[in-house]
């Protein structure tokens, strides 16, 4: 995790153009994860840390033409790659920090966050900010297209008990941020946690 946004931008910026080519088989996992969110036509949903926008088309499909889809990312190159891939038509794209979202309280029905949590400088405060912009009873999905063990192996690391995404760490973190975890799945082919915004 980094408290330095410049570091995040320096890491993701140069990789943005080739990001989708590097992970070409992730598309169906994004579709399945969005399906698991239980979105309805007309819902207002944020893709937090949207990257190249791979979740935007299935999010648009889920909420329909009457819904609202907003993609937010800190890195302009990622947003440019999303536009170049034609995903800007599925939702509005905005360069913003998920730690300080330019949205009113309770503006959204749901937040979808793929690969975001490992890059939050202050996870509890940042998850609390996501809770602020979601109505009571609204939903949060924390997703990654591969599970923790597979991701650690990809980076040449081993899983440790202090892993933020481990269930025994993430549950209390979400609870302290205004969320109740309703589902935890850590499998080889995906990591998906669903939570509900407490009233």
pLDDT at 100: 94
Residue whose pair of structure tokens reads 């893709």 in the numeric block:
47
Average the pLDDT over each of 12-26, 38-52, 77-91, 114-128 and give the range with the smallest value: 12-26
pLDDT digit string, tens, across residues 48-94: 999 999 999 999 999 999 999 999 998 889 999 999 999 999 999 99
How far apart (Å, rounded) are the C-alpha atoms in residues 116 and 73? Answer: 10
Integer angstrom CA distances of residue 50 from 68, 156, 159, 161, 168: 15, 25, 26, 28, 26
pLDDT at 15: 67
pLDDT at 7: 65
Per-residue pLDDT, averaged over 180-199, amounts to: 96
Per-residue pLDDT, averaged over 124-129, amounts to: 97
pLDDT at 2: 40
pTM for the predicted model, two decimal places: 0.90
* pLDDT at residue 4 is higher than 60: no
Per-residue pLDDT, averaged over 13-32, amounts to: 73
Residue of 161, 170, 102 lying closest to 133 (CA atoms): 102
* pLDDT at residue 36 is higher than 70: yes
Question: What percent of the chain stands above pLDDT 90?
Answer: 77
Torsion (CA) 116, 38, 105, 93 in degrees, nearest 10: 50
* Long-range contacts, 21-26 (Cβ 8 Å, 24+): 23/145, 26/54, 26/145
pLDDT at 8: 66
**CB burial string 160-185: b at 16+ within 10 A, e below:** eeebebeeeebbebbeebbbebeebe
> Which uninterrupted H or E stretch holds 126?
helix 123-132
pLDDT digit string, tens, across residues 127-165: 999 999 999 999 999 999 999 999 999 889 999 999 999
pLDDT at 20: 66
Residue whose pair of structure tokens reads 């360069």 in the numeric block:
95
* Three-state secondary structure call for residue 80: helix
Average model confidence (pLDDT) across the chain: 91
Per-residue pLDDT, averaged over 36-58, amounts to: 96
């Amino acid at each position: 995790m980094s408290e330095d946004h410049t570091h995040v931008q320096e890491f993701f910026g140069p990789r943005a153009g080739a990001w989708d080519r590097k992970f070409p088989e992730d598309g169906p996992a994004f579709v399945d994860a969005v399906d698991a969110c239980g979105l309805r036509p007309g819902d207002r949903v944020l893709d937090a840390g949207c990257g190249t926008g791979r979740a935007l088309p299935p999010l648009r499909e889920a909420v329909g033409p009457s819904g609202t889809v907003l993609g937010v990312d800190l890195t302009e190159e990622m947003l440019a790659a999303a536009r170049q891939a034609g995903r800007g038509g599925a939702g509005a794209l905005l360069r913003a920090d998920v730690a300080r979202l330019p949205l009113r309280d309770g503006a959204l029905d749901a937040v979808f966050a793929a690969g975001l949590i490992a890059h939050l400088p202050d996870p509890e405060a940042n998850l609390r900010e996501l809770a602020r912009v979601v109505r009571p009873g609204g939903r949060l999905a924390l997703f990654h297209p591969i599970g923790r063990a597979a991701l650690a192996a990809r980076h040449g690391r081993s899983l440790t008990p202090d892993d933020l995404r481990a269930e025994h760490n993430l549950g209390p973190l979400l609870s302290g941020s205004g969320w109740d975890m309703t589902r935890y799945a850590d499998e080889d082919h995906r990591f998906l946690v669903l939570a509900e915004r407490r009233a």
